[in-house]
Amino acid sequence: MSFFSQPVGVSHFLVVGAVLFVSGVVCMAVKRNALGVLMGIELVLNGANVNFVAFSSPFLRSDNAYALGLDGQLISLFVIVLAAAEAAVALAITLNFYNNHSTVDVDRADELKG
């Protein structure tokens, strides 16, 4: 079973990242719960992180000279930190919204419509 004997490459990681990303997007698109939307965002960011780490890895490609090296990992660290910050702010916004509207349904938050 050559599937398991072949080494994995960047592409495989990218596919995983894509799946996570798309899952996040769909999550954002279909969840009416604001917290669900936040989870979708986490998934999207995570997908992106997978990609960064994959590109920075020295093991996953034949031409290592073109790998991102530590830069990718650094950026993914930043992304993690930003995601945490974002989660905190978004949660605060959600709580505020909940205080004002007694719900977390994003479909009710349409007061800025044209």
Partner 1 sequence: MAPDASLPLLLGLAWLLPLASFALIVLVGPKMGKAGVLAAYVATGAILTSFVLSVIAFGIWHFGHLGYDRKTAETHVVAAAEDAHGSGEHAAGESEHAGADSHAAHGVPTAPPRVFTKDWYTLAQFGALKLSISYYIDSLTVLMFTMVSLIATLIHFYSFGYMHEELHEVVDHEVTLADGHHLHRRGRFYRFFQYLSLFCFSMLGLVIAGNVLMVFVFWELVGICSYFLIGFYIERKSAQNAANKAFIVNRVGDFGMIIGMMALWASLGTFAFGDIDGQQGIFSSVRPSANESQVTVPDGMVKFAATEHVAAGVEATPAQISTWRSEGYGYWLLVIAGVGIFCGCVGKSAQFPLHVWLPDAMEGPTPVSALVHSATMVAAGVYLAGRFYPVFAPEALLVIAYVGAITLLLAATIAITAVDIKRVLAYSTVSQLGYMMLALGVGGWAAGLFHLVTHAFFKSLLFMCSGSVIHAVHTNDMRRMGGLRHKMPWTAYTMLVGVLAIYGAAIPFVVGLSGYYSKDSIIAQALSFWNSNPTHGAFFAAAAIGGAGITAFYMFRLWFMTFAGEPRDHHAYEHAHESPKVMYVPLVILAFFAVTVGFPRLPFSVPKLLEQARYPGEFTAGKLLPDLVYPEEHLSHLPQFHNQAEVVVTFVALGGLVLAIAFYGLRILNPAEVKSQFSAVYRLLWNKWYFDELYDAIFVRPVLLISKLVGNFDRRFIDGFVDGLARWTRAVANFDDVIDRYLVDGSVNVVAAWTYSIADGLRGLQTGKLRQYVMLIVIGTVALTLLIRWSVAAG
Partner 2 sequence: MTVHPINWHTAFFMLYAVVACTFGVAVVVSSNIVRMALYLIVSLGATAGLFFLAGADFVGAMQLFIYVGGTLVLLIFGVMLTAKGPFISMRTSGGDWIVAVLLSGCLMALLVPAAFSVASWRNERHAAVDAEPDDSDTAVLAAPRTVAAAHQPAATEEPPAPFIDDNGDGIPDVQPKTATALGLGLLGARVDAIDAKPEMRPGMSGYLLPFELISVHLLVVLIGAAYLARAKRRVR
Exposure string for 71-94, b = 16+ CB within 10 A, e = fewer = ebbebbeebeeebeeeeeebeeeb
100 is a site residue for partner 1 (CB under 8 A): no
Residue with tokens 């007694």: 102
25 is a site residue for partner 1 (CB under 8 A): yes
Q: Given the rule CB under 8 A, which of 10-18, 65-73, 81-89, 102-110 is the region that contacts partner 1?
A: 102-110
Rounded least distance, CB 114 to partner 2, Å:
21
Scanning residues 57 to 86, which ones bind partner 2 (CB under 8 A)?
57-67, 69-71, 73-74, 76-78, 80-86
Query: What residue ranges bind partner 1 (CB under 8 A)?
Result: 25, 28-32, 37, 106-107, 109-114
